Every structure is written in structure tokens, then in C-alpha cells.
Amino acid sequence: MTTTQEYVLLLHGDEAGWRDADEAAIAEAYREHGEFSRLCAERGHEIVGGAELRLSETSLVVRRSGDAVQVTEGPFTETVEQLGGFYQVRTADVRDLAELAAMLVGTGAVEIRPVVPSSEQPDAALAGAEAAS
């Protein structure tokens, strides 16, 4: 019996290259993501969610310092790589998924992390999530 698990693929990279990309480079990147999606379906990996993210300079960061909450603009840390997007994928073969993810690496990295299933979350957390939706 094969067990499926959901994973999130976090796509990290230097967004300066994306900010400065011309139309041909953008079209090629989208083509690569389309091919990734096609191959996932062909090889039994189900993409159940995902999105491209706006540049990190558009983000808000919320932090707590003692009792105070601070909201600042821009990324939390100054790093070369930023989170540019993600996929959520259901699969029984994470090693094969990792092989496919290699086509999305570019000059950055793809981090693959398992999602904690709702069956493993405390009932109180589930009740709060249901109330929020």
C-alpha cells in the first residue's frame, strides 16, 4: 500500500533577476513551470495549490516584542534569496518529486517540507481554523 503525503515546495531565489527579467525570460520561466506541472501530473504527483508571490519589498512583517506588536514593511531579513512562490503537492513518492523540482531551482533552491495533516493537529486548533473560515 502506498501512502500519500502533502508537501509544500518553497521556491527560493534572488528576486533581483526576476525584477530585471525581460519578456522572453519571463515567458521561459512560465514555460518551465508549465512543464513541471505537466510532468507532475504524468508521474502521479497531484498539485493541490500554489502561487507566485509578489516581490519581498511588498511584504508586511508582523513581530511581537514583549507585549507590543510591530508591523514593518519589507522582508524580515536581508538575504540574497527570497521566497518567490510555492506549490502544494500530494504524492506518494517525494524522491521523484524532488527530481522534478530540480527543474525549478535556477540559481536558487527548492525546499520541500511535509505538511502536518489535520488529523495530527489538536482539536482546539481545528476549531479555531473552522471558526476563521
Q: Which residue has the higher pLDDT, 36 or 82?
A: 36
C-alpha closest to that of 13 among 97, 110, 87: 110
Residues 40-52: what's their mean pLDDT? 97
Q: Walk me through the domains of the chain, giving residue ranges and CATH numbers.
A: 5-117 (3.30.70.1060)
Task: Name the DSSP class of 51.
Answer: E
How much is the pLDDT for 26? 94
Confidence at residue 124, expressed as pLDDT on a 0 to 100 scale: 57
Helical ranges in the chain per DSSP H: 15-19, 23-42, 94-101, 123-132
- Mean predicted confidence (pLDDT) in 56-66: 89
